[in-house]
């Protein structure tokens, strides 16, 4: 089968293209500009065409017919490559539909990691642990890590580990052999207009899973664990060397999964997971006392601040809210208890993406008007003044945590590079 991956420079499509190539499919990809991912794929022997005006896929199809086009949700419906594929009878799907085909062809059992928060870290922990234990494993991560490629197919593996995202109802494509549920906290209001819709999708996902491990605290608001579910009491979180209560909870899910699958003893798993190096953009240490984190939901902010407070009693948060539409939905959740562990907050304007033009853009002052400690909040921009403030906080021995899914991480890395 010849598969064309559109957008191979992205973290969703690129690793899947590599997995398909390793599994024996004839793979070719495209993207607008080269990056580290496209360069990596080319080194593995995967052709990556630059440009997406339609001529690239046309040329490839004329050389040898393309059977399947895999694309990401970032592509508009009138994208030239999609239009070409439709007009030439080429099968089109997003990545999860193709992955389902790959799992079936390779006879792999899916270990799915789902939930509102903690999916990427838990998926990374599961991959790390099995590799440390010497167990062959195939997987796809939604980020980069320093201990393995972002995606990998091992022909000797029995399991495929995957972060199953509820966005756009993607996780409902799958019928996992085992599902780990990290948390259930109403999110993705653009996909699920009501909390009932969100819970209903998780209930369907649970019924599609052969085995399930989840937390007692998440059995609420209509979530119905099936008979095959192992329900962990909230106090079951293991005492591990990992910083952060939420990290220890994620690790506990991995421990329970390994026990359920008879992969290793609990002591062996704990020993491996205690050395977990983390994933990129998840409490990633960029310099002494300077961390970057992708989290942009109040629950994630609270959990990450709690983890930071285990390392320092002076934690400074630099926060860039993500998407104005989302801020309208979650603004009431910015409450005092979310920011308890922060001694100071630099609050940035919201990063705007995929917006509803009818909604007014909420100002930082509107998002923080419920907080009772205005003296802790400083309104800022991504500029030289903010960098000088960060530098001063670090010089005074404070831990600075920068959070957001927009431009803050790239800005921070650029500042570090230009000021080194």
Res. 221: pLDDT tops 80: no
Mean pLDDT of 200-229: 92
Mean pLDDT of 103-131: 95
- Which of 34-38, 109-113, 212-216, 332-336 bottoms out in mean pLDDT, i.e. has the lowest? 34-38
CA pseudo-torsion sign 255, 256, 262, 267: positive
- Identify the CATH class of 2-95: alpha beta
Closest by alpha carbon to 28, among 87, 36, 44?
44
Q: What is the pLDDT of residues 50-103, one digit of tens each?
A: 999 999 999 999 999 999 999 988 889 999 999 999 999 999 999 999 999 999
**Kind plus residue range of the DSSP H or E element containing 399:** strand 399-403
- Could you say which DSSP state residue 178 is in? E
Domain 108-273, architecture per CATH: 3-Layer(aba) Sandwich (3.40)
CA distance linking residue 326 with residue 305, whole number of Å: 21
- pLDDT band, residue 280 (cuts 50/70/90): confident
Q: What is the pLDDT of residues 287-320, one digit of tens each?
A: 999 999 989 999 999 989 998 998 999 999 999 9
Alpha-carbon distances of 115 from 161, 218, 241, rounded to whole Å: 15, 10, 24
Res. 279: pLDDT tops 80: no
Res. 126: pLDDT tops 90: yes
- Residues of the chain with pLDDT > 90: what percent? 79
Q: What is the pLDDT of residues 247-276, one digit of tens each?
A: 899 999 999 999 999 999 999 999 999 989
CA distance linking residue 153 with residue 229, whole number of Å: 28
- pLDDT band, residue 283 (cuts 50/70/90): confident
Res. 354: pLDDT tops 90: no
- Residues of the chain with pLDDT > 70: what percent? 100
pLDDT at 144: 81
pLDDT at 142: 79
DSSP letters, 113-140, are EESSSSHHHHHHHHHHHHHHTT---EEE
pLDDT at 58: 97
Mean pLDDT, the chain, whole residue set:
94
The yes-or-no answer to whether 108-273 and 284-418 have a common fold is no
Q: What is the pLDDT of residues 137-193, one digit of tens each?
A: 999 987 888 888 889 999 999 999 999 999 889 999 999 999 999 999 888 888 899
CA distance linking residue 52 with residue 49, whole number of Å: 8
322: helix, strand or coil: strand
In CATH terms, 284-418 corresponds, of 3.40.50.150, 3.40.50.720, 3.90.190.20, 1.20.140.10, to: 3.90.190.20
CA distance linking residue 73 with residue 82, whole number of Å: 12
Q: CB of 140 within 8 A of CB of 16?
A: yes
In the chain, domain spans:
2-95, 108-273, 284-418
């Amino acid at each position: 089968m010849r598969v064309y991956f559109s957008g191979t420079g992205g973290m969703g499509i690129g690793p899947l293209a590599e997995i398909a190539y390793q599994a024996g499919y004839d793979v070719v990809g495209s993207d607008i500009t080269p990056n580290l991912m496209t360069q990596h794929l080319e080194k593995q022997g995967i052709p990556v065409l630059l440009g997406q005006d339609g001529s690239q896929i046309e040329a490839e199809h004329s050389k040898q017919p393309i059977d399947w086009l895999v694309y990401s949700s970032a592509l508009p419906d009138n994208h030239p490559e999609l239009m070409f594929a439709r007009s030439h009878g080429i099968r089109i799907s997003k990545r999860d539909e193709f992955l389902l085909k790959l799992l079936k062809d390779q006879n792999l059992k899916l270990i799915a990691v789902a939930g509102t928060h903690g999916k990427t870290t838990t998926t990374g922990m599961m991959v790390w642990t099995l590799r440390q234990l010497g167990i062959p494993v195939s997987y796809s991560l939604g980020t980069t890590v320093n201990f393995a490629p972002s995606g990998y197919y091992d022909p000797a593996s029995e399991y495929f580990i995957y972060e199953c995202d509820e966005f756009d109802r993607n996780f409902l494509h799958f019928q996992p052999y085992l599902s780990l549920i990290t948390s259930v906290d109403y999110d993705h209001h653009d996909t699920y207009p009501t909390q009932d819709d969100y819970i209903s999708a998780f209930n369907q996902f649970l019924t599609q899973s052969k085995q399930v491990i989840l937390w007692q605290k998440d059995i609420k608001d209509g979530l119905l664990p099936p008979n095959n579910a192992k329900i962990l009491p909230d106090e079951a979180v293991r005492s591990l060397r990992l910083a952060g209560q939420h990290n220890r909870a994620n690790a506990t899910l991995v421990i329970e999964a390994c026990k359920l699958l008879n992969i290793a003893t609990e002591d062996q798993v704990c020993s491996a997971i205690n050395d977990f190096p983390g994933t990129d953009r998840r409490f990633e240490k960029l310099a002494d006392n300077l961390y970057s984190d992708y989290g942009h939901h109040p629950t994630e902010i609270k959990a990450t601040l709690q983890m930071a407070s285990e390392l320092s009693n002076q934690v400074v948060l630099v926060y860039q809210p993500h998407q104005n539409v989302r801020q309208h939905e979650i603004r009431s959740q910015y409450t005092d208890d979310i920011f308890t562990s922060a001694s100071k907050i630099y609050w940035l304007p919201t990063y705007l993406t995929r917006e509803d033009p009818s909604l007014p853009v909420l100002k930082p002052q509107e998002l923080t008007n419920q907080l009772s400690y205005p003296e802790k909040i400083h309104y800022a921009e991504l500029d030289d003044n903010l960098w000088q403030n960060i530098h001063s906080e670090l010089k005074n021995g404070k831990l600075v945590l920068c959070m957001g899914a927009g431009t803050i991480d790239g800005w921070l890395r650029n500042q570090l590079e230009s000021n080194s």
